Amino acid sequence: MSSLIITTIQSDLKWEDKDLNLSMFENKIKSIQDKTQVVILPEMFTTGFSMNPALLAEDMHGETMNWIKRVSMENKIILTGSIIVKENDSYFNRLIWMLPNGEYCFYDKRHLFAFAEEHKYYQSGNKRLITSVNGWKINLQICYDLRFPVWGRQQVVNQNNEAEYDLLIYVANWPKKRRNAWKTLLCARAIENQCYVIGVNRVGLDNNSQEYSGDSMIINPMGEIDYHKENVEDVYTTVLNKNNLSEIRNNFPFLSDSDSFNIYT
């Protein structure tokens, strides 16, 4: 069974300063000593959680996409995180999944955070993205999506009760004042979906005086926390074990008892 090597980068973000953020993340990526296959950055990693897309958005051929492609290629990694994208006359909080060969796919955040008026500035996505690497199926989501379990819910896909995905990733700018919800819901998603869950959040203070504690986490399919870091910047590499995942699913075949359903958008 295959393993998957993933590096999470929990970092402070310079408010609406693309150049400084890109330079900072490139240095952190270059500093990774261990072999890795996937590097995960936070939500809106070039700007912070900004409601100023008219000033900050780029198209899919802009400087940030070129940076993602170059850094992925030079470091031979899959690179992912979300950025502000303009498409036609709409703005999206868009997660990019970039392969080292320059091919990519993307996911547009489904659940927009109305409490911060995100829905007034951005267009909601209408489809999930489940990609694959090295035999692992990966469900990619963004921040506020975490509060809506149906959107991330695992389904079995055939008569052998094969799971729809093996790893659920959330990139985020999740505030410190609601950190208990972040940590609790990440564990819940791992337990209910019998999968690994990775949440990558930022630290620091933004220009809206919002404080972030990070609390980036890696959780195994039993809901146990394998990694947790709060309040400080951190670059962490781990190996996820497919044998462990398969053993848990075989010993506790809960997914076979789950309800089937359809999601209408």
105 catalytically annotated: no
- Choosing from 14, 18, 143, 187, the catalytic residue is 143
Closest CA to 136 of 238, 243, 259, 34: 243
Per the structure block, which two tokens stand in for 194? 């019998």
Contact 93, 54 (CB under 8 A): no
The pair phi, psi for residue 240, each rounded to 5°, is -90, 135
- Choosing from 14, 28, 109, 229, the catalytic residue is 109
Q: Give all strands (DSSP E) within 16-128, no chain letters.
A: 38-40, 78-87, 90-98, 104-108
- DSSP class of residue 259? P
Identity of residue 151: W
Which value, in Å, is the radius of gyration of the alpha carbons in the chain?
17
Contact 95, 125 (CB under 8 A): no
In the sheet where 90-98 sits, what is the strand order? 104-108, 90-98, 78-87, 38-40, 3-10, 234-241
Q: How many residues does the chain have?
A: 265
- Choosing from 18, 28, 43, 183, the catalytic residue is 43
Contact 195, 162 (CB under 8 A): no
Give the whole-angstrom CA distance, residue 233 versus residue 213: 10
195 catalytically annotated: no
Give the whole-angstrom CA distance, residue 203 versus residue 91: 25
Give the whole-angstrom CA distance, residue 10 versus residue 18: 17
Give the whole-angstrom CA distance, residue 165 versus residue 83: 24
Residues with a catalytic annotation lie at 43, 109, 143
